Amino acid sequence: MNVGWLLARLVIGIGLLSLIVYSQYFWYRGLWRLSANWGSAALRVAARLLCLALVTVSAIAIVDGMRMGRSHWIPRGNIFPSFVGMWFTCAFFGFLAVQLVRGIERLWRLAVARRKNRQTADPARTVRETAELVADPGRRHFFKVATAAAGAAPFLGAVYGFAAERLNYQIRRVEIPMPNLPQALDGMKIAQLSDIHLSGYISREDVRRAVDMANDLSPDLAVVTGDFITGASDPLEDCIAEIQKLAAPLGIYGCNGNHEIYAKAEDAAERLFTQAGMKLLRSENATLNFRGAQLNLIGVDYQRERGPGGRRIQTLAGVDQLVRRDMPNILLSHNPNSFNRAAELGIELSLAGHTHGGQVQVEILDHRLSPARFITDYIAGLYARPMGVAATTGATPIARSHLYVNRGLGTVGAPVRLGVPPEITLITLRKA
């Protein structure tokens, strides 16, 4: 058992949970104090009862969502799960933003005090002049406005991300060079959907619109790389019924994601795929024939990177037996972190999802910041690395393996997307 890894996870988990709890306390305390200034006793009582009700509902909803069970205390499809997800996320980041501004103000005060201390040897004068600067009305007004803006920004951003960007489906076209690609396969088109998460945050009609957009691209092959639903109570049958409407001459293939594991729906997803005339690949492969040439399509369930006790385990165990040397290989693997091992095995192209592109991405000083950075180096888009022996030895690469990470359709946690619109990908294979 890796005690250090477990201890690190425990410390990080407790720290994050403490921050979330304190951020809730911060905002509710502020609302409570604000209502104390109201002249009407009836309004004060009503506001504080509402505050207590929101705390109760939020706590129930967050625990209910973490259970991932088939039965829910709060029925799916109503506004509460969406509201709670948005509130917790906005409250957390709003709290951090406010504390950042307050920290800058404290540093400014300290810098002023030190500068004055160097300019005069009279302690009393230093204290007096520092107090005058700190009490400056212009400075106080600036930091007051900055604090209010910092606290409000996450809430305003969440409203925009929920109302506008969350369902603003984007088609991304990408051409991917593949080594050893037969001339007949050059120009072959693959439509990829991922992370649908059919649940209270995304409706069956929303999925149908994405499928229609994919069909308008006239793909030769359609693939769906996992996370059809979020929890066990979500309508897996409805999701797969919509996926079935994808139109591609070479068929519709998929793989399971981590949320199928949480929902204990891996076998059910496979069965429903088969009943619908599609194929869910679970550590197996399928040979596709296109214009007289062949392609090896491999699919795996979600690849865990650690076993019991935090022990790191090898991803894609047994997949080496599925790799073909006489034709190009494409891997469907929900977790993009399996890419390194896929490149070692000589798989030319991996298609993944899982990250949602971070759901929220901001750009600061030409650097893109995304929460997905904490779980992977492969956040969204196209990546490449040496293939085969060169991937592990550092030898001069003869060819390169590619990975494409789809940004997904749905959301998890907060039903918000900012800077990362949902995606339908059209991949065109090109001869390298």
Task: Write the pLDDT tens digit of every residue in 38-55.
Answer: 778 888 888 778 778 777
Q: Decide if 352 contacts 339 (C-beta within 8 A).
A: yes
CA dist 264 → 38, 59, 69, 249, 260 (Å): 51, 25, 9, 31, 6
pLDDT at site 153? 80
pLDDT band at 131 (very low <50, low <70, confident <90, very high): low
pLDDT at site 368? 61
Q: What's the rounded mean pLDDT across residues 403-423?
A: 91
Q: Please name the helix (run of DSSP H) or strand (run of DSSP E) that holds residue 286, with its range, or none.
A: strand 284-290
Share of the chain above pLDDT 90, in %: 47
Closest CA to 91 of 134, 138, 135, 55: 55
Give the CA angle between residues 125, 127, 131 to the nearest 5°.
115
Exposure b/e, 298-318, CB count within 10 A at least 16 = b: bbbbbbeeeeeeeeeeebbee
Most confident of 31-45, 209-223, 407-421: 209-223
Residue 260 has pLDDT above 90, yes or no: yes
pLDDT at site 42? 83
Closest CA to 165 of 360, 20, 413: 360
Amino acid residing at 176: I
Residue 279 has pLDDT above 90, yes or no: yes
In the sheet with 170-178, reading across from the earlier edge strand, the strands are 170-178, 423-431, 189-193, 221-225, 252-255, 279-280
pLDDT band at 244 (very low <50, low <70, confident <90, very high): very high
Residue 114 has pLDDT above 80, yes or no: no
pLDDT at site 160? 74
Higher pLDDT, 183 or 30: 183
Residue 366 has pLDDT above 70, yes or no: no
Range in 59-73, 239-253, 259-273, 384-398 the model is least confident about:
59-73
Q: What's the rounded mean pLDDT across residues 293-300?
A: 98
Q: CA–CA separation, 88 vs 94, rounded Å?
A: 10
The answer for residues whose C-beta is within 8 angstroms of residue 210's C-beta and 6 or more apart is 169, 193, 196, 409, 422, 424
Residue count of the chain, please give it: 432
Higher pLDDT, 336 or 24: 336
pLDDT at site 183? 95
pLDDT band at 313 (very low <50, low <70, confident <90, very high): confident
pLDDT band at 396 (very low <50, low <70, confident <90, very high): low
Q: Where are the domains of the chain?
A: 1-165, 171-431
171-431 fold: Purple Acid Phosphatase; chain A, domain 2 (3.60.21)
Residues forming a β-bridge with 352: 405
Q: CA–CA separation, 18 vs 376, rounded Å?
A: 24
Arithmetic mean of pLDDT over the chain: 84
Q: Decide if 257 contacts 227 (C-beta within 8 A).
A: yes
Give the CA angle between residues 283, 352, 9 to the nearest 5°.
90
pLDDT at site 395? 53
pLDDT band at 295 (very low <50, low <70, confident <90, very high): very high
Q: Decide if 316 contacts 345 (C-beta within 8 A).
A: yes
Amino acid residing at 9: R
Phi-psi region of 399 (alpha: psi -120 to 50; beta: other; left: phi over 0): beta
Question: Distance from first CA to last CA of the chain, Å, rounded?
Answer: 45
Q: CA–CA separation, 187 vs 208, rounded Å?
A: 26
Higher pLDDT, 73 or 325: 325
Q: Decide if 327 contacts 389 (C-beta within 8 A).
A: no
Higher pLDDT, 392 or 170: 170
Range in 26-40, 339-353, 395-409 the model is least confident about:
26-40
Q: pLDDT by residue (tens digit) across 146-177?
A: 888 888 887 777 777 776 788 899 999 999 99
Most confident of 43-47, 98-102, 135-139, 299-303: 299-303
Higher pLDDT, 308 or 127: 308
Q: pTM above the 0.85 mark?
A: no
pLDDT band at 6 (very low <50, low <70, confident <90, very high): low
For residue 268 the two structure tokens come to 């059910």
pLDDT at site 373? 77
Q: What is the DSSP string of 172-215?
A: EEEEEEETT--GGGTT-EEEEE----BBTTB-HHHHHHHHHHHH
Q: What's the rounded mean pLDDT across residues 128-149?
A: 70
The answer for residues whose C-beta is within 8 angstroms of residue 359's C-beta and 6 or more apart is 371, 411, 412, 413, 414, 416, 417, 418, 420
pLDDT band at 331 (very low <50, low <70, confident <90, very high): very high
Most confident of 55-59, 247-251, 308-312: 247-251
pLDDT at site 38? 78
Residue 371 has pLDDT above 80, yes or no: no
Residue 273 has pLDDT above 90, yes or no: yes
Give the CA angle between residues 149, 150, 152 to the nearest 5°.
65
